[in-house]
Amino acid sequence: MNVDDVIYVLCLLACIAAGSYVRKVRDETQRKYVCSMLGLIVVVVVSGFHSLHCAISVGLGTASVLLVHPSNCHVITFVVMFGYLVFFRLVYLFGLPAVPGPTNMIQMLLTLKVSGIAFEKTAAWKRIRAQDERVNNDQDNANSDPNLNVTSYDLSLQQLSATEIVLYSFNYVGVLTGPYYRYRTYRDYFQMPFKDHAPCVQATIEQLKAAVFYCSLYLLANYMWPLDYALSDEFYNDRSVLYRVLYVWPTFFIFRARIYTGLTLSECVCTMAGFGAYPDDADTNNGEGPRKLYQDMAKDPEKHSYNFTTIVNTRVLDVERCWTFREGMKHWNVCVQYWLAVNVYKLFPIKKYRTGAIFLCSAYWHGFRPGHYFCIMGAPFYVIMEDTWHKLVRKDAVGMRRTVIDVIFWICKWFGFSYLGTAFLLSSFDSIWRFYSSVYHIGYITWALLVIVGLYLTKLKKSAERKAKRAADSTASAGDPSAAKQKAQ
């Protein structure tokens, strides 16, 4: 581990320990300020004077949320927060010191939080306006559309204060590396009694066990197959092409173990504080929170069982066990995916470009290094290939044949993740191009050929199906003279 990793882990462990104290604070207003003060301390510890970036961006974003009309504040805030990332990441061009890695992660989360609350405010304002119009036009049917029902939360979003946005932004839960959560989840933590009845300690212990396991795998694998070796001359001069191709597997395994460790510790921060706990009956979703009405459940909180699904950012077992690349992406970084789906995919004006927009936004959010774009923008290309062959050979397969095909897809999935993920880790264009050239761009070339062959076979398959259908229709007509006569007429 480097110095940044050590500081990062120590801060996470300190935040986990703070959860026990935070839950004991009875006054909710006091608890809210304590949580944000702890968050500010964490930001300053890991960022030093770079914390000014966080303060400036939140100040600009807050002004956009409050001063711009609700009909447009989501667009302006999005531009302000994502635009600040340009200055933040290219600050060295202005003669200022480059920001450390942990500060970059903090800024990424602040970008989602502040712009996310603006999107929520605009959506709520639209529901309020639509309901008012329905009331004015047709009093009897004003509430006929459930999507237009205005809640107290919608009204509270229109009354936001700068203090509330700042407290939400710097809440110590999730400030360092996530998970992303809505303002509603933050508000519920201080207004609902669920945290006092959720299995906080038990859930934290289970997650800590998992974090220790992932960290052990990371340290062991990183010792045996260090990423730095892939940058050395020996790797390219003395190792075979096959060795270099296979090296992407342990490289991405190390990356996964490292990410799993950090995300699991981040979830421990939430569970120890009771943050994001909701009743099972509330039908919670990652990042989103409850999808059913849950306010009445606060009347008898002791009668419910609870989960922390809202703050689970990566479903590790599902990522590892699922068969396809597409499924793996759905289980990875799901809280951020929720933000992208709701605020980018669904709102992007040109429907056919929505998938491209969401991947481009994700790559931009991660950073400006070429590796981010090689990796994230390469994913749709692999998914096209995978979907094509899924329809050709996997979709209708059953029994042992389906099992064999699933295993092949699983192996290909991890090669795809590993091949693209290596670019993410190598980061610079020169390092990426040197590595891909040394393996003759085997990944991209193979996938391109598979796409071409797959599309050709799909065309043949559809042609054969049409011929079979015409033959079946002809046979049916020949066996039924009345049908043939009717067809002729």
Model confidence pLDDT, tens digit, residues 344-401: 999 999 998 999 999 999 999 999 999 999 999 999 999 999 999 999 999 999 999 9
Candidate from 19-33, 291-305, 467-481 with smallest mean pLDDT = 467-481
User: Residue 418: pLDDT above 90?
Assistant: yes
User: Residue 277: pLDDT above 80?
Assistant: yes
Which residue type sits at 361?
C
Q: What pLDDT, on a 0 to 100 scale, did the predictor assign at position 263? A: 94
The label of the residue with tokens 């209708």 reads 396
Write the pLDDT tens digit of every residue in 122-181.
999 999 998 888 877 765 554 555 556 888 999 999 999 999 999 999 999 999 988 999
User: Residue 483: pLDDT above 60?
Assistant: no
Q: At what angle do helices 399-426 and 248-273 cross, to 10 degrees?
A: 90
> For all residues of the chain together, what is the average pLDDT?
92
Given 3-state DSSP classes, what are the helix, strand and coil percentages for the chain, each rounded to the nearest 5?
Answer: 75, 0, 20
- Active site members: 333, 366
Candidate from 70-74, 195-199, 207-211, 467-471 with smallest mean pLDDT = 467-471
* Burial zone of 450 (CB within 10 Å; 0-12 exposed, 13-18 middle, 19+ buried): middle
Contact criterion met (CB below 8 Å) for 225 and 247? yes
Handedness of CA 9, 11, 17, 23 (dihedral sign): negative
Task: Quote the percentage of the chain above a pLDDT of 70.
Answer: 95
- For the chain, the structural domain boundaries read 1-130+155-178, 354-465
Whether the bond into 179 is cis, omega within 30 of 0: yes
